[in-house]
């Protein structure tokens, strides 16, 4: 009876998270308020590109470095409808929904439980809306994560060289949206080198050819300021700020996302290392997410958007880890499968409670 109640609550929480996120974003698309400064910057770049003018002008140190993928995608809408805020917000919304859908499919694949899978979907959008905040704001990190997760999902579900090439294509495109995606390319190479060496050569070859070709083409087509935005501007924005490191780890990972984080940490104690086998790629992705997040805290432009990757990562690894821990405990003498399932459902419900407790800050 208790398990059924918890299961119903999880479905309700997931549906509310998805419906609430979509409702808020669509309402702000139809009735927009003033654009975020980064949105204005993206729209400005997209408008210039749509008019066949240079995408990049001489950079302003007060503005963050901007990769060209997102503005170029927005420019396709601008050339048809003119420069309007809804264009980049629609792309961001579709990317967020795609990430949530991929999260549900990945968790279902690894746990074989629909309730746990739907919870992962809800965690993505609840985290975007309540932790990252301003869910309507178009963020390159959201688009980048949709492509990065899609790349890992392609490698996990498409066999052979085809899967490796598909993953390389998606990750290279992700790198054109946000420089942080380079860490995910490195994570996939590390995983393949350890687990699937026959596919490593195919992935590396595709990534080098596509990534190198794209970089050379963009450098030639967009001019020298592309290199500044891709590398120099990112490096120059870094400064050592230990306080942000502590806040990121303490307030975010161990605070607002603490239940999912602890499940991931506890899964490391299982007899079989969770980073081994086909599902180990999510751990490789996790290491890349944590490292890139810690480095991102040291940027002068660090903001709530740096939580986007870690929200997605824990929405995947948290439920998967909970399921593996309780499966292991249920195998002990005197334990039951239903008892283990109840622990998973209770843990996921508590994380939803943590998310929804943030609603008071939005009213």
Proportion of the chain above pLDDT 90, given as a percent: 47
Report the predicted TM-score, pTM, of the whole model to 2 decimal places. 0.92
Backbone angles phi, psi at 238, to 5 degrees: -80, 140
Tell me the C-alpha distance between 355 and 351, whole Å: 6
Residue length of the chain:
363
What integer pLDDT is reported at residue 6 of this predicted model? Answer: 82
pLDDT tens per residue across span 202-251: 999 999 999 999 999 998 888 888 888 887 777 778 788 888 888 887 77
Rounded to 5°, the CA angle 335-336-337 comes to 135
What integer pLDDT is reported at residue 173 of this predicted model? Answer: 96
What integer pLDDT is reported at residue 363 of this predicted model? Answer: 46
Asked whether 345 and 327 are in contact (CB, 8 A), the reply is no
What integer pLDDT is reported at residue 182 of this predicted model? Answer: 93
What distance, in Å, lies between the first and last C-alpha atoms of the chain? Answer: 35
**Residue 319: pLDDT over 70:** yes
**Residue 101: pLDDT over 90:** yes
Mean pLDDT lowest among 152-166, 236-250, 302-316? 236-250
Which range among 62-71, 85-94, 226-235 has the greatest average pLDDT?
A: 85-94
What integer pLDDT is reported at residue 340 of this predicted model? Answer: 60
Tell me the C-alpha distance between 120 and 117, whole Å: 5
């Amino acid at each position: 009876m208790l398990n059924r109640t918890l299961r119903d609550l999880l479905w309700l929480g997931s549906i509310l998270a998805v419906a609430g996120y979509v409702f808020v974003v669509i309402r702000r698309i139809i009735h927009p308020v003033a654009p975020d400064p980064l949105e204005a910057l993206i729209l400005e770049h997209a408008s210039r590109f749509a008019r066949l003018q240079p995408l990049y002008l001489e950079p302003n140190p007060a503005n963050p470095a901007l990769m060209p993928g997102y503005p170029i995608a927005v420019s396709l809408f601008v050339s048809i409808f003119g420069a309007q805020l809804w264009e980049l917000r629609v792309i961001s919304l579709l990317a967020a929904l795609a990430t949530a859908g991929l999260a549900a499919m990945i968790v279902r694949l690894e746990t074989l439980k629909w309730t746990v899978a739907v919870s992962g979907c809800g965690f993505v959008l609840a985290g975007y809306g309540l932790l990252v905040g301003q869910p309507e704001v178009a963020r390159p990190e959201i688009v980048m994560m949709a492509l990065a997760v899609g790349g890992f999902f392609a490698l996990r579900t498409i066999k052979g060289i085809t899967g490796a090439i598909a993953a390389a294509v998606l990750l290279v495109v992700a790198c054109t949206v946000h420089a942080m995606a380079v860490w995910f390319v490195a994570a996939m190479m590390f995983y393949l080198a350890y687990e699937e060496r026959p596919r490593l050569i195919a992935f590396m070859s595709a990534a080098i050819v596509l990534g190198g070709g794209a970089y050379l083409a963009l450098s030639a087509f967009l001019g020298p300021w592309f290199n500044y935005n891709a590398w120099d501007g990112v490096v120059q924005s870094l400064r050592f700020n230990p306080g942000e490191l502590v806040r990121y780890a303490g307030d975010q990972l161990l605070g607002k996302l603490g239940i999912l984080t602890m499940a991931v940490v506890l899964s490391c104690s299982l007899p079989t290392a969770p980073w081994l086998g086909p599902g180990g790629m999510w751990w490789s992705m996790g290491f890349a997410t944590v490292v890139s997040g810690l480095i991102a805290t040291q940027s002068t432009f660090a903001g709530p958007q740096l939580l986007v990757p870690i929200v997605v990562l824990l929405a995947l690894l948290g439920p998967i880890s909970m399921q593996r821990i309780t499966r292991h405990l249920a195998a002990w003498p005197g334990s039951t499968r239903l008892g283990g399932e109840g622990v998973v459902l209770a843990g996921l419900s508590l994380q939803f409670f943590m998310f929804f407790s943030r609603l008071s800050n939005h009213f």
